[in-house]
Amino acid sequence: DTGVSQDPRHKITKRGQNVTFRCDPISEHNRLYWYRQTLGQGPEFLTYFQNEAQLEKSRLLSDRFSAERPKGSFSTLEIQRTEQGDSAMYLCASITWSPPTRGGYTFGSGTRLTVV
């Protein structure tokens, strides 16, 4: 168990470019979440997957944001046509959630995006 891995750790991009982030969850966890955290705020929920199924995506911030988890293992979060307001820390978390087994999140270290 190597924890939740996120790549890259930092990304600087020019406004208008597309970016993609990757998250590798803990292998035995069945749910994967994406959050965004801006300076001085708590994380904000974006979307989540159970295995390869995306169960909630209405909280994605705009249609420029999309996420995939094609084989139920790693996930990607893509932002198209980036804007300066997209600058934030993007966090991934995973859990085991198969009632009666429930648990707390394990977060990755995040990807810090800066749009210039």
Partner 1 sequence: GIQVEQSPPDLILQEGANSTLRCNFSDSVNNLQWFHQNPWGQLINLFYIPSGTKQNGRLSATTVATERYSLLYISSSQTTDSGVYFCAAGGGADGLTFGKGTHLIIQP
Residue 74 binding partner 1, by CB under 8 A: no
Alpha helices in the chain (DSSP H): none
How near is the Cβ of 97 to partner 1 at its closest, in Å?
4
Short-list 112, 111, 103, 99, CA closest to 26: 103
By CB under 8 A, tell whether 61 contacts partner 1.
Answer: no
Sign of CA dihedral 37, 32, 57, 12: positive
Q: CB nearer to partner 1: give 61 or 89.
A: 89
Tokens in use for 53? 């199924």
Q: Residue numbers of the site for partner 1 (CB under 8 A)?
A: 31, 33, 35, 40-48, 50, 56, 59, 89, 91, 93, 95, 97, 102-107, 109-110
